[in-house]
Amino acid sequence: MRDKSKQVAASSSTNDPPKKKQRVMAADIQWCINNKDTLTLKSFADEFGLLDRHYADQKQLQSELNLFRKSKAFKLYWLERSRKRTQLDAHIGCAEYVHDVVERETRTLFSTVTATDTTTLTPTTAISSDTFSSTANDTIRTTDVEFETEADTAPTEVTADPLAEDVENMSPLTPWIFKDVDVAELFTRSRQAVNRMSSNHLFFIESSVHELLALSNILLLCPGQHSPLCMNVFTEDVISELSKELLSEIMDFNLDMTDDACMKLARIINNVESNIQSKDDAELDLLMLGKDLNSFERSLARGIMTEMRKLPQMAMKTKKHIGECELFTMYFDPILSALLSDPDKNVLLRWSNVTGDETGELRPDATISKLCQRDFGPSLGFGEVKLARPSTDNHALCHDLLRLATFTKDTVDVNKLQAAMNFQINGYNITFFLTRLRHDGMYLMQEIGQLIFPRSLEELASFVNLKNIRTLLM
């Protein structure tokens, strides 16, 4: 019986459900419950040191980042990123170029096939590779492979470049006889030579400015800077004499300041630079001097007076902190505006950098505009500005020169002008050009002057000399 009672007690104890383990709250939760009446975010952060831990983690992460930046893996990572970006850009550029070329060539081929289908051939005419004339062989070219004819090959259709056809098939220009030489014929020969050269290789802007302009019917005349092709076609004597003759047509060499006025002007500026005379007194002297000068000389004196007010005492040492806007407004605008702007005649020199009717989507840095009531009318000239920095290479300067030539040629055509003036600024150097339609089918872009503008009041004193004054007045 006792054993039975033990068994019953044991069985009853085993049948009881097990007791659950009492749950222990986290320390931070328990603290919040205990301090629920006074609980704040600040007290909680202070109690458990959250801010200190955050700052410690931040310092550690920043330290690891600095170490990583100095490591080889960091440099290799960004080098690879740069490499991939360059590859993608090159791939996109090449794909777009190939797409444009294929589309253009397909369109040209389609038009050629259409024209061939509509052409009626005589029964006795046999189409073979021997029927191409020598002239056609000179002008016909493919995009990538030079066209060669073989006696035993099948006839092949190739498309001719429209510009090449225009050059080779252009009608002869009206003769222009100079020194027993037909300048118009020589210019036509040079254009045809440039066209043949372009069928074999690409032109580089830096070394082929004259050739590129010749394709646009522009003859560029710069003393001592003509291309070998130009010298071979025209010869050095002809091109030199032609430049002098054309310069005498457009320049008025009688515009000259008297020696007395030139000396007075130079002395006034020198006195200001030497602190012998104040700028206010110098302005009064220049105004008095202007009474005895003609309108051109008076404008030049007024520009020099404004330049005297704007220029610093000494030239700035660091050129990299001078921007384009500061360059032309402080150093060039006082004199150029005095000479090229005339509000009384509705002419303004604008440093606007905006598009115009003659420039399309391109924006010249400066424009000489004719005012028509309350609006800007025809453009009489243009200017391009480049800073004297290592990034300003010959390619950038030649590109600006091509832009100026195109601008002035178009404005002469659109506005029916006799001539258009342009200037190119490179640092403190400025070169003036004049573009005009001198002969039927020939535009002349001729250099008419070159100057180095002053960078300070000290250099302005040496800038005011007879040579520079003559260049500005002419």
Highest average pLDDT, of 102-111, 165-174, 199-208, 396-405, comes from 396-405
Q: Which residue range forms the structural domain that includes residue 210?
A: 166-250
pLDDT at 111 over 80: no
Crossing angle (nearest 10°) for helices 295-310 and 279-290? 170
Neighbouring CB atoms inside 10 A of 195's CB total: 22
- Asked whether residue 393 falls in the same domain as residue 338, the answer is yes
The pLDDT, as a whole number, for residue 121 is 38
pLDDT at 141 over 50: no
Structural domain count, the chain: 3
CA 181 to chain centre: 38
Domain termination site, one of 209, 231, 250 = 250
Domain termination site, one of 110, 144, 160 = 160
**Looking at residues 113-125, what average pLDDT do you find?**
44
**Looking at residues 186-193, what average pLDDT do you find?**
89
Of 113-127, 145-159, 427-441, give the lowest mean pLDDT range. 145-159
pLDDT digits (tens, 9 = 90+) for 25-47: 787 888 888 888 888 888 887 77
**Looking at residues 141-164, what average pLDDT do you find?**
38
- Asked whether residue 195 falls in the same domain as residue 276, the answer is no
Neighbouring CB atoms inside 10 A of 407's CB total: 25
Reference 193, options 173, 218, 175, 167; nearest CA is 167
320-341 in b/e burial notation, b at 16+ Cβ within 10 A? eebeeeebbeebbbbbbbbbbb
Reference 472, options 436, 413, 420, 423; nearest CA is 423
The pLDDT, as a whole number, for residue 114 is 54
Highest average pLDDT, of 91-105, 134-148, 423-437, comes from 423-437
- Asked whether residue 171 falls in the same domain as residue 155, the answer is no
The pLDDT, as a whole number, for residue 129 is 36
- Asked whether residue 152 falls in the same domain as residue 195, the answer is no
DSSP state letter for 16: S
Contact assessment for residue 364 and residue 382, using Cβ atoms and an 8 Å cutoff: yes
- Asked whether residue 343 falls in the same domain as residue 462, the answer is yes
Q: What is 309-359 written as a DSSP string?
A: HHS-SS--S-STT--HHHIIIIIIHHHHHHHH-BGGGTEEEE------TTT
Of 51-60, 111-120, 126-135, 452-461, give the lowest mean pLDDT range. 126-135
pLDDT at 445 over 90: yes
DSSP state letter for 171: P
**Looking at residues 211-232, what average pLDDT do you find?**
89
Contact assessment for residue 216 and residue 412, using Cβ atoms and an 8 Å cutoff: no
pLDDT at 49 over 50: yes
Element (H, E) at 385: strand 375-386
Q: What is 39-98 written as a DSSP string?
A: --HHHHHHHHTHHHHHHHHHHHHHHHHHHHHTSHHHHHHHHHHHHHHHHHHHHHHHHHHH
Contact assessment for residue 278 and residue 454, using Cβ atoms and an 8 Å cutoff: no
- Asked whether residue 237 falls in the same domain as residue 313, the answer is no
Contact assessment for residue 469 and residue 300, using Cβ atoms and an 8 Å cutoff: yes
Contact assessment for residue 367 and residue 352, using Cβ atoms and an 8 Å cutoff: yes
pLDDT digits (tens, 9 = 90+) for 299-353: 999 999 999 999 988 888 776 678 888 888 899 999 999 999 999 999 999 887 7
Contact assessment for residue 369 and residue 380, using Cβ atoms and an 8 Å cutoff: yes
The pLDDT, as a whole number, for residue 403 is 92
- Asked whether residue 293 falls in the same domain as residue 435, the answer is yes
- Asked whether residue 442 falls in the same domain as residue 354, the answer is yes
The burial class, CB within 10 Å (0-12 / 13-18 / 19+), for 342 is middle
Residue 232 lies in a domain: yes
Find the farthest-apart pair of alpha carbons in the chain and give their distance in angstroms, rounded.
155
Residue 23 lies in a domain: no
The pLDDT, as a whole number, for residue 251 is 85
φ, ψ for residue 182, nearest 5 deg: -85, 100
Domain termination site, one of 220, 250, 280 = 250
Residue 1 lies in a domain: no
Of 3-7, 21-25, 341-345, 423-427, give the lowest mean pLDDT range. 3-7
Residue 455 lies in a domain: yes
Please tell me which residue, 94 or 308, carries the higher pLDDT value. Answer: 308
Crossing angle (nearest 10°) for helices 279-290 and 259-273? 170
**Looking at residues 198-212, what average pLDDT do you find?**
84
The burial class, CB within 10 Å (0-12 / 13-18 / 19+), for 112 is middle
Residue 103 lies in a domain: no
Residues 205, 186: Cα–Cα separation, whole Å: 23
The pLDDT, as a whole number, for residue 4 is 53
Residues 434, 446: Cα–Cα separation, whole Å: 5
The pLDDT, as a whole number, for residue 118 is 45
- Asked whether residue 192 falls in the same domain as residue 320, the answer is no
Helix (H, G, I), strand (E, B) or coil at 299: helix
- Asked whether residue 177 falls in the same domain as residue 295, the answer is no
- Asked whether residue 171 falls in the same domain as residue 145, the answer is no
DSSP lists the bridge partners of residue 445 as 220, 435
Q: Quote the pTM value.
A: 0.62
Helix (H, G, I), strand (E, B) or coil at 35: coil
Tell me how long the chain is: 474
pLDDT at 434 over 90: yes
Residue 5 lies in a domain: no
Highest average pLDDT, of 10-24, 153-167, 178-192, 247-261, comes from 178-192
For the chain, the average pLDDT equals 79
- Asked whether residue 150 falls in the same domain as residue 268, the answer is no
The pLDDT, as a whole number, for residue 138 is 38
